[in-house]
Amino acid sequence: MREPLAKKVVDIKPSGIRKFFDIVSEMKDAISLGVGEPDFDTPWHIRDEGIYALEKGRTFYTSNAGLKELRVEIANYMKRSQDLEYHPLDQILVTVGGSEGIDMALRAMCDPGDEVLIPQPSYVSYEPCAILAGAVPVIIDLKPENEFRLTAQEIEDAVTDKTKVIVLPFPNNPTGAIMEKSDLEAVAEVIAKHDLYVISDEIYGELTYKGKHISIATMPGMQERTILINGFSKAYAMTGWRLGYACGPANIIAQMTKIHQFAIMCAPTTSQYAAIEAIKNGDADIARMRESYNMRRRFLLNSFREMGIECFEPYGAFYVFPCIKEFGMTSDEFATRFLKEEKVAAVPGTAFGNSGEGYLRISYAYSLERLEEAMKRFAHFVETLHSEKKED
Amino acid sequence: MEFREELLRIIEKNSRMNTKELAVILGVAEDVVAEELKTLEDEGTICGYHTMVNWENVSTETVTALIEVKVTPQRGQGFDNIAERIYNYPEVESVYLMAGGYDLMVILEGKTIREVSGFVSEKLSGLETVTGTATHFILKKYKDHGTVLGKKKEDTREIVTP
């Protein structure tokens, strides 16, 4: 028989998360710090709208780009949160989570051989999606001394005449890094200079703890070269609803919508109705959850510092990214031993790119009580490691 | 949110947190928390540090009673005087002045039915300004002080996700 699989697919290495997941799954009593989704339930008024939509029998396809009312509300949200104008009819596409938006954007913009700049550590899907789109991913290793922010120089160093797209993954999963106004101004200049397009993944935008999140699209000349990806998963605790959206220039959105139409048809209808309620009346929920995350963030940062673990202050998402290089183990080794000896699961930084080596992703999408227990165990583990070192 | 309001919101739900823990999660110095707490206590904004008890788990004999009370207000005193005469009984948990079909809501908690009926017939009805009472018993508490009782929520998320 012939080889059934495409080489391009087989060659993509499986997610590092997957491997770790398999180890964790075997340990029944482990406590996890490993999730990338909120611990809150979707606020009741939003769930209620979803239930209502089902009761009313709104169970048909929507238009390919999504319910018009939802797109209008997304446009309103963009206006009030970022002062950005997007036309609901041709500049917004409702997608199955932010991840579909990323996939569609890469597929719509990349020809074979086009290079896509991907800063890492970052979310696991950019690189494989770029490959599947036929493009060549070019990794930019973000540096701890810049608190894992992207600099203009790093783009300059990576750009070639084949570079077409750059992914901007901020606020960042797994590092928690954000890009402030001055950071964005600097990279925007280089992006314009080299005539690049931006896929800006702002799914964690609402979870920013230092000022308000600023989109790259608000920088002069950037909106017309940016596909802004956002969604409902993180801001409204709606991961399982699978709903996101992409905003951008009409010509790009049109082609993304074309692929989306053939591959997906439309985002789930129930979720779209619930999302209208979320985006219209969910601001207070976001504020409440953000406040809670912020307390946990401060707690974790303080705990690591009290243990003497190096950890830069992350201002976004719900992760801290402590450095464990001093213990002379790889992220993988550290995470595996930590799991086996203390029964706590924290994801090795390398699951998000080679530049995550020496770091762990600690999620704070957990109650303070859970985090307190986990930090006790972390401190105990650190003590163990220190005493081992002395014996050597 | 303002610092003071944030502080109050936290300890309203968890009064066991100490000043050091509060300082960490609020991102301020410990003495700032201590001072604010003292001010809030002195001015009577913080009125106590209680524990929420689900008495149903302790005794099956006791009930919570909500008693609607109609009274004749007194000249110059309004309802304050009669309210005071009622809330001075130590068995009374709460007293509220109400708008609507009756005047005072009196709540007794963790009492037997005999105790409640004794209180209503012997003490409450005996007050000369009280013109009528209606006693309601709570059959089951689903949610109290913002907390759903009896059910511990399980974390059903996948244990590791990107």
pLDDT tens-digit series, residues A290-320: 999 999 999 999 999 999 999 999 999 999 9
Q: Do B13 and B77 fall within a single domain?
A: no
Q: Do B13 and B89 fall within a single domain?
A: no
Q: Do A133 and A264 fall within a single domain?
A: yes
- Give the residue from A168, A127, A134 showing the smallest Cα distance to A151: A168
Q: A332 pLDDT exceeds 90? A: yes
Q: Is the peptide bond before B73 cis (omega within 30 degrees of 0)?
A: no
Domain-ending residue, one of A223, A256, A282 = A282
Interhelix angle B19-26/A283-307, nearest 10 degrees: 120
pTM over 0.90: yes
Q: Do B73 and B111 fall within a single domain?
A: yes
Domain-ending residue, one of A242, A266, A282 = A282
Q: Do A152 and A125 fall within a single domain?
A: yes
Residue A46 domain flag: no
- Tokens representing residue A282 in the block: 């969910």
Q: B72 pLDDT exceeds 70? A: yes
Q: A80 pLDDT exceeds 70? A: yes
Mutate to test the interface with A, among B6, B143, B160 (most CBs of A within 10 A): B160
Q: Which helix (H) or strand (E) holds B144?
A: strand B143-144
Residue A319 domain flag: yes
Residue A297 domain flag: yes
Residue B155 domain flag: no
One-letter amino acid identity for A197?
Y
Strand order in the sheet with A136-141: A92-95, A244-247, A226-231, A197-201, A163-168, A115-120, A136-141
Q: With CB atoms and an 8 Å threshold, state whether B159 touches A39.
A: no
- pLDDT recorded at residue A15: 84
Domain-ending residue, one of A282, A311, A328 = A282
Residue B153 domain flag: no
Q: Which of A89-98, A383-392, B140-149 has the highest mean pLDDT?
A: A89-98
Q: Do B68 and B102 fall within a single domain?
A: yes
Q: Do B63 and B124 fall within a single domain?
A: yes
A169 in contact with chain B, both atoms CB, cutoff 8 A? no
CATH code where residue B105 lies: 3.30.70.920
Give the count of domains, chain A.
2
Q: Domain limits at A385? A: 7-41+284-391
CATH code where residue A111 lies: 3.40.640.10
Kindly list the residues from chain B whose CB atom is less than 8 angstroms away from the CB atom of residue A291. 1, 6
Residue B31 domain flag: yes
Kindly list the residues from chain A whose CB atom is less than 8 angstroms away from the CB atom of residue B155. 39
Residue B67 domain flag: yes
Q: With CB atoms and an 8 Å threshold, state whether B155 touches A24.
A: no
Q: What percent of chain B has pLDDT over 90?
A: 73
Residue A94 domain flag: yes
Q: Do A336 and A386 fall within a single domain?
A: yes
Q: Do B59 and B117 fall within a single domain?
A: yes
Residue A51 domain flag: no
A34/chain B closest Cα distance in angstroms:
5
Give the count of domains, chain B.
2
Kindly list the residues from chain B whose CB atom is less than 8 angstroms away from the CB atom of residue A299. 24-25
Residue B49 domain flag: no
**What was the ipTM of the complex prediction?**
0.89
Q: Do B70 and B96 fall within a single domain?
A: yes
Confidence of residue A132 (pLDDT cuts 50, 70, 90): very high
Q: Do A91 and A186 fall within a single domain?
A: yes
Q: Do A247 and A297 fall within a single domain?
A: no
Q: Do A352 and A244 fall within a single domain?
A: no
Q: B151 pLDDT exceeds 80? A: no
Which residue among B6, B27, B161 sits closest to A37, beta carbon to beta carbon? Answer: B161
Kindly list the residues from chain B whose CB atom is less than 8 angstroms away from the CB atom of residue A173. 162
CA torsion sign for A54, A55, A61, A67 is negative
Q: How far is CA A318 from CA A21, A208, A301, A337, A372, in A?
A: 19, 9, 12, 24, 16
Q: With CB atoms and an 8 Å threshold, state whether A299 touches B25.
A: yes
What average pLDDT does the structure give for chain A?
Answer: 97
Q: B1 pLDDT exceeds 80? A: no
- Tokens representing residue A128 in the block: 């494989």
Q: Do A351 and A268 fall within a single domain?
A: no
Residue B75 domain flag: yes
Q: Are strands B92-97 and B104-112 parallel, antiparallel or unpaired?
A: antiparallel
Q: Do A385 and A244 fall within a single domain?
A: no
Residues with Cβ within 8 Å of residue A281, at least 6 apart in sequence: A45
- pLDDT recorded at residue A202: 98
CATH code where residue B13 lies: 1.10.10
B162 in contact with chain A, both atoms CB, cutoff 8 A? yes
Residue A54 domain flag: no
Q: Do B38 and B59 fall within a single domain?
A: no
- pLDDT recorded at residue B15: 93
Q: Do A288 and A306 fall within a single domain?
A: yes
Q: What is the pLDDT of residues B15-33, one digit of tens each?
A: 999 999 999 999 999 999 9
| Sequence-separated contacts (24+) of A254-263 with Cβ below 8 Å | A254/A90, A255/A108, A256/A93, A256/A101, A256/A104, A256/A105, A256/A107, A256/A108, A256/A227, A257/A64, A257/A65, A257/A93, A258/A108, A259/A104, A259/A107, A259/A108, A260/A64, A260/A65, A260/A93, A260/A95, A260/A100, A260/A104, A261/A64
Q: Do A346 and A224 fall within a single domain?
A: no
Q: A157 pLDDT exceeds 90? A: yes
Q: Which helix (H) or strand (E) holds A375?
A: helix A368-391
Q: What is the pLDDT of residues A235-253, one digit of tens each?
A: 999 999 999 999 999 999 9
Q: What percent of chain A has pLDDT over 70?
A: 100
Q: Do A124 and A234 fall within a single domain?
A: yes
Q: Do B37 and B93 fall within a single domain?
A: no
Q: Do A278 and A290 fall within a single domain?
A: no
A336 in contact with chain B, both atoms CB, cutoff 8 A? no
CATH code where residue A376 lies: 3.90.1150.10
Q: Do B83 and B127 fall within a single domain?
A: yes
Residue B47 domain flag: no
Q: Domain limits at B108? A: 55-140
Q: B74 pLDDT exceeds 90? A: no
Residue B159 domain flag: no
- Give the residue from A365, A373, A378 showing the smallest Cα distance to A322: A378
Distance CA B155, CA A40 (A): 10
